Amino acid sequence: VLSTVKTMMTDKADAYATFWREFGRVVKEGLLDDVENRDAILDIASFDSTHDADRQTTLAQYVERMAEGQQHIYYLTSESRAAIERSPHMEAFSAKGFEVLVLTDPVDEMWVDAVPGFDGKQFQSIAKGQVDLDTDEEKSAAEARKKDFADLLAWMTEALEENVKEVRLSSRLTTSPACIVGDTYDLSPNLEKMYRAMGQEPPQIKRILELNPTHPLVTGLRDAYGEREDRT
């Protein structure tokens, strides 16, 4: 069946599009259950992405378009494309032209954590862990900012320790002042909702608060903290 679908992708594109629209969600469940055929399923799968809002992409096409030096297949999961496009996590990726897979099926929340990668490229959520999109020059500037904001970040981390795991500077924000991200292996907020909908209470997870060091609100906060007489 998988071989037939792969042939259909190239020989009968319209028929494949109909097949995937009707059965794609079910086929993707095989990424969790059928490890032996996982690579074959990835070969025939199609996904929405930021490259073209009207046409899905295969992983092979995504990899072919990857920027020079890009090591990860970036994705973001949510309940809708509109929510993903509005997400502050998208800002730097949009600004720098990095393509992001738009994953909105409930099964997407599961398989992306179970599948190690495709064609030697690992999947990486743009809402988890650290992202590395900066040039060498931008990295040097970021290191300087860390020293500039070190006192504020330490104070905020301590002040908010009951609610967040860490407060740090962000490289994924360009216009928003702040965003919440997860650690690399944390459950996504959407997956937590799914567990609760099934009557299961997931473990409590502290998120990471990231600040945009170029936003006036954040630089103003840094300056105000620096002027405090009672700061430690």
pLDDT of residue 188: 80
Amino acid in the structure at residue 123: F
Q: Which residues contact 175 (CB under 8 A, 6 or more apart)?
A: 88, 91, 212, 215
pLDDT of residue 202: 74
Question: Each residue of 26-47: pLDDT tens digit?
Answer: 999 999 999 999 999 999 999 9
Q: Which residues contact 101 (CB under 8 A, 6 or more apart)?
A: 47, 48, 49, 57, 62, 73, 74, 75, 76
pLDDT of residue 24: 94
Residues in the chain: 232
The rounded distance, in Å, linking the Cα atoms of 117 and 42 is: 9
Question: Each residue of 100-131: pLDDT tens digit?
Answer: 999 999 999 889 988 989 999 999 999 999 88
The rounded distance, in Å, linking the Cα atoms of 114 and 28 is: 12
pLDDT of residue 94: 95
User: 196 or 133: whose pLDDT is higher?
Assistant: 133
Question: Each residue of 64-75: pLDDT tens digit?
Answer: 999 988 999 999
* SS3 label, residue 74: strand
With 60 as the cut, is the pLDDT of residue 232 above it? no
Q: Are 46 and 20 in contact (CB under 8 A)?
A: yes
Q: Are 102 and 42 in contact (CB under 8 A)?
A: no
pLDDT grade, residue 224 (50/70/90)?
very high
* SS3 label, residue 106: coil
pLDDT grade, residue 229 (50/70/90)?
low
Mean pLDDT of the chain: 91
pLDDT grade, residue 231 (50/70/90)?
low
pLDDT of residue 198: 75
Question: Each residue of 88-104: pLDDT tens digit?
Answer: 999 999 999 999 999 99
Q: Residue 113: is it exposed, middle or buried by C-beta count within 10 angstroms (0-12/13-18/19+)?
A: middle
pLDDT of residue 97: 92
How many percent of the chain have pLDDT more than 70? 98
Letter string b/e over residues 53-62, b meaning 16 or more CB atoms within 10 A of that residue's CB: eeebbbbebb
Nearest to 19 by CA among 8, 30, 11: 8
The pTM of this model reads 0.90
